[in-house]
Amino acid sequence: MTLTPAQQAAAKQTRTVVHGAGEPTHAVIWLHGLGASSDDFPPVIPYLGLSGSRTIRFVFPQAPERPITINGGMVMPGWYDIKGMDLVDKEDLEGMSESRATLERLIQEQVDKGVPTSNIIIAGFSQGGAVAYYTGLRYPQKLAGIMALSTYMPFAGAAASEHSGVNVQTPIMAMHGLHDGVVPLSIGKQSADAVKALGYTVEWKGYAMEHNVIPEQLTDIGAWLNRVFEGEV
């Protein structure tokens, strides 16, 4: 895969944090939201309450800079363009395809380092969660899990014919703020239900928050990660 200059610059900003001792046997690839950075989520790791029974490599990639139509064409970190508030206006196939390729490249990098795909969770917040949904449903190999935070499933109409089916048994965690003014709760729930309709297992949790992450949720995320990597989900 040949990276564009913007993708090359973003790749240099990828953050990696290892939980545990020794060589990592598991990995979590966690994508940030629109206008954010790879520095957003590394600080939450100590608050997850992760088990010490395995070593996990957390990978926090940086989205490339791109103009975002809904923000007046302002250039900012984004996994794809957003043209408007309607769900269809959020569906930028070219940008999504680029970000899917980026996420698949990051998965392959972990495999090359000795972590099998069945020990890899892909996760994301908002835009990053949409990329996780899109990629996870279409990924041709077994993943450990998919975590979708304050987000939605893009290209829902195409998912029925495009999803690989390989990860139908893979646990999916969808979390959303009850007062989210950026990605409305109804869209998040509708997306989770659409994924379920394809035969996937989705655990849904709502929180008394807006478009953000709160301590109670971090505890739940850590408990879910522990259960997934223990094979208890």
What whole-number distance in Å separates Cα of residue 83 and Cα of residue 90? 6
Identity of the residue numbered 20: G
Per-residue confidence of the chain (233 residues) as pLDDT tens digits? 577 777 787 778 899 999 999 999 999 999 999 999 999 999 999 999 999 999 999 999 999 999 999 899 999 999 999 987 766 666 789 999 999 999 999 999 999 999 999 999 999 999 999 999 999 999 999 999 999 999 999 998 899 899 999 999 999 999 999 999 999 999 999 999 999 999 999 999 999 999 999 999 999 999 999 999 998 77
Active site residues: 126, 180, 211
Residue whose entry in the numeric block shows the structure tokens 């297992």 = 201
Note the pTM of the prediction, 2 decimals: 0.95
Among residues 37, 80, 27, the alpha carbon closest in space to that of 58 is found at: 27
- 20 vs 45, 54, 140, 190, 231, CA distance in Å? 11, 6, 29, 37, 19
* Cα–Cα distance list, 167 to 25, 49, 52, 164 (Å): 20, 26, 27, 7
